[in-house]
Chains A and B, each alone.
Chain A
Amino acid sequence: MTPDAILFWILAVVTVVSAITVVLITNPIYSALALAMAMIGISALFVTLNAYFIAGVQLIVYAGAVMVLFVMVLMLFDLRHELQAFTRGKISGAVKIACVGMLAGLVVGAIYMSSSSLIHASAAETMSSVDATKQLGKLLFTQYLFGFEALGVLLLVVAVGCVALARSKGGTHEHH
């Protein structure tokens, strides 16, 4: 194996193991920490692909985002009633199965669609970091503008929803 391959496998194992830990571990704090670890692993994988700018942005944006998640987890830490309500029952079971189905569809779709579009690293054209950043910026603000803005609104909805749920007086349970 070449050094690049060894590095890739180490990073891949770290990323995948921490991503699985996010889902499997019961303590939400460790879950958030494992998510941060997975983000760092993905960022390092971008570095091995020579995508330095995306690697850095991955660190800045996602590490910050997971930090917010961390705080949200602490805000929602003692919502025992809600946990009960959302983890038992037929409807939530159906939602879980639907989520698993969607995730499986996403994974299969990603593998199926990317196998033809991937370029070998040596064949991909290289450009300077400023050019690459310029291209990225142009695409984000023209072709993918709607998706970009919609994601921002989605994040805002999550933040507002979390604050609304965690407010002790306005929460869904009354023993305060």
Chain B
Amino acid sequence: MGPLVPDIISGEFSYLIALIMGIGFGFALEQAGFSSTKKLVGLFYGYDFTVIKVFFTAGVTAMIGILFLSHTGLINIEYVFVNPFFVRSAIVGGIIMGLGFIIGGFCPGTSVCAAAIGKVDAMAFIGGSIIGIFLFMEVFPLIENFYLADAQGSPTIAEALNISRTTWAVILTVIALGAFVAITYIQQKVTGVEAKWDKTTILQAVKWASIPMIILLIIIITPSRDDYVMAKLEKRAATGECVPKLIDSDKLAYELINNYYNYNLIDVRSKEEFDKSHIPTAINIPLEELDDLEYRPLFRQRIKTNIFYGSSLNQASRACLLARFHGDNHGLALKENMNEFYELFYLQKPLGDNPTKQELTIKLFREDAARQLQEIETALSEMSKPIEKKVRVVQGGCS
């Protein structure tokens, strides 16, 4: 599952990937004509619309592609870098860049392309950019506050408008297609060349435009891989079809007392329930969060056995099955729920008049176990927690 860096592909190898991607980038840009400064500024003087055609097409293609990959579970969109938004510096920086574009006739990426094929003005532009960046670094202390003002985090447009990613994709695609049609008419007016709107051209245009729309339609209609999998799991758990391996409380207590370091005891109830009381040595991962990516290593490791318990056997079973789906074949679910466990060990009822030897043994075991479990809990609370929550963020943007 993507992104492949840094787990599947190492950081160093990703530099080689950068080189290869850059070659593709530079090739496509130069083929499109972005090495010609007159073509670039043509957009702003209305005589050449190559920039907007290439830009919009590339952006929409990539957007739909990434959405599709996320929908089919091939990429995890949470790990993808989203540019941060600082309102003031984004707007002012953009306007300055716009001015630089009009005066200089390039942007950094295109200037490199043009310089690569020998354009001297592009080389001058690059020289100028180095100076410009140098100036920025020098005056940074003066503008630091402005640079950091109005931080909005790293929101996506879908989040900001409170719509789904797919909805935004459809909107942007429609805008792009509309823009392309409008451009064809504008180009006709500016250059005086009659645009060929005969049947074959229209059919061709519709054919190409329908490709992204069909992909979007597929994304809208079919359930995402995550939804599909979770639904299947829930259904099987509900019918009792899929049964996890069970462990009973006495065995759990025995294992915890003697071999607690061999187990990850996971309480899948809510945080409030966990804080009120939990089985000693347990960590808390609420069931809704169990599917989060940061906990996957928990299911794949083979060093400790995972034992799940909750407020009901059903809850523990669902957790255990989810773990099994993610590769945990040795996980166990506790037969008793938290309340039952608590009753067995901490709310011992006095025995009747003629207790059997077995009843006596069990009672003594449980009393002793309760005491020992408490000792372990106290000792462990001094140590660091066994599992650490760690979210990896990909570096991107300008660095």
| A and B form one complex | no
